[in-house]
Amino acid sequence: MSMPQSPVQWHQVKAWVFDLDGTLLDSRPDILAAASDTLVDYGHAPLPAGYQLPNLFGTAGELVRDVFVERGYPAPTDLVRLRAEFEAHYAAQNPSQARLYDGVPQWLDWARQHGVALGICTNKLERLARDGMQQLDIAEGFGAITGSDTYGVGKPSPEPLLRTLAQLGVAPQETLFFGDTHADAACAQAAGVRFAWHSVGYGDARVQALPQVLRYAGYGELLYQVATQQPALSL
């Protein structure tokens, strides 16, 4: 059962921090292609069309390791090498097939116009996060962009989120964290930050067992809520 927190009073929120993949952008095609190329590096067949990744919430090494396991291949023990190979393939994709979810540019523009601090806390490498944001033209105005390598730890640990907030100069209670998976929700809970669940991202039923102040399927509905100064919908 979901456990909603108090509805959001938007005028009291000083900072919005976002997960990236599955929250602001749909990068599933790029992730699939990089995972498939990594399997080939290890002498295995590429992933079949329509393959569903078993893990879209962990770090890159964990994500690809779980693909090996799901396909019935011996799991590589050197996750550092595995991660490096996957991320090299991910970075080499040109053009990228990643796309922003509908309404993201308008949602970020509203924040910039109203003085809301913006941050990113993702489990991908910081460099790849910054590159992807530049390519999609959304990097402007973000006061902090952190990846799983920035502080050497990824979500669901609260540390990367808390350090992102420290960079922004805001307190946990002044912040709303937008994410799509249980790793994001657990990170927010441990950090004492309210969580907004992007329900059409990469998460599963495990998210619903964790606290969330609102659930949204698109950024248009959030724009309506904040523009009319109505409390956000809670579960």
Name the pLDDT band for 233 (thresholds 50, 70, 90).
Answer: very low
pLDDT above 50 for 117: yes
Give the pLDDT band (50/70/90) at residue 59. confident
DSSP structure string for the chain = --EE-PPP-GGG--EEEE--BTTTEE-HHHHHHHHHHHHHHTT-PPPPTT---S-SSS-HHHHHHHHHHHHTPPPPS-HHHHHHHHHHHHHH-SS---EEPTTHHHHHHHHHHTT-EEEEE-SS-HHHHHHHHHHTT--TTEEEEE-TTTSS--TTSSHHHHHHHHHHT--GGGEEEEESSHHHHHHHHHHT-EEEEETTSS--GGGGGSEESEEES-HHHHHHHHHHTPPPP--
Check 19, 21, 26, 149 and give the catalytic one.
Answer: 19
Q: What is the pTM of this model?
A: 0.90
Position 31 confidence tier, pLDDT thresholds 50, 70, 90: very high
pLDDT for 169-220, tens place per residue?
999 999 999 999 999 999 999 999 999 999 999 998 999 999 999 999 999 9
Please indicate whether residue 37 is annotated as part of the active site: no
pLDDT at 2: 39
**Average of pLDDT values for 1-26?**
80
Mean pLDDT of the chain: 91
What pLDDT shows up at residue 37? 96
